[in-house]
Amino acid sequence: MVQILKINPTHPDSTVIRKAQNYITEGKLVIFPTDTVYGLGADPFNENAVINLLKVKGRDPNKGLPVLVATMDIANEFVEFSPLAKSLASQFWPGALTLVLPLKKSMLNQVTGNRKTLGIRIPNHKVARQLAEIPIIGTSANISGQKSPLTAEDAIKQIGKSVELALDCGSANEGLPSTIIDLTGRTPRLLREGPIKFAKLDPFLF
């Protein structure tokens, strides 16, 4: 049965954060709040945890999984930033923009979707960002194709039987999954429009 812990979104209890981080490093799945929708966290370097997450969500393993990090220094360990990527990160991070960038280090195929790229972002939410001081998978805490969860309760209804811990801080800020842009090709590809509208990205792209 999932354990539910209340957490203050503006002043997160460090004890609760550490507990959630420990669960993740032990290979367990954790529901947590973000600046977009409620997320499902796992250790991106633990193959069993990643396979379990994909199974719980019913997600296509070829789609890849986004990783959340706390700082640009950590992001730079994972991916290569072009001048455009640096510009977008400077403008929109922390925030609801996932950048798909060339990999700099080896990652599990289940995380990359068997590609040499990675979706990555810094969330604009204190709970998520503190959790991501250890890099974590940060995909929506739902069954693939179902409604993205706006509360911990929504997430638990969908996947709670497969999750050890849920952090609850009320309703999600945006209610939409992050905007995604792929910068790994010759021209940028806008993959999903979320809280950051494509029109806001246009001045950087054209």
Tell me how many degrees the CA angle 84-89-91 measures, rounded to the nearest 5: 95
Over its length of 206 residues, how does the chain's per-residue pLDDT go in tens digits? 899 999 999 999 999 999 999 999 999 999 999 999 999 999 999 999 999 999 999 999 999 999 999 999 999 999 999 999 999 999 999 999 999 999 999 999 999 999 999 999 999 999 999 999 999 999 999 999 999 999 999 999 999 999 999 999 999 877 899 999 999 999 999 999 999 999 999 999 87
d(CA 168, CA 85): 32
Domain boundaries, the chain: 3-205
pTM of structure: 0.97
**3-205 — its CATH code?**
3.90.870.10
Closest to 4 measured CA to CA, from 125, 141, 182, 122: 141
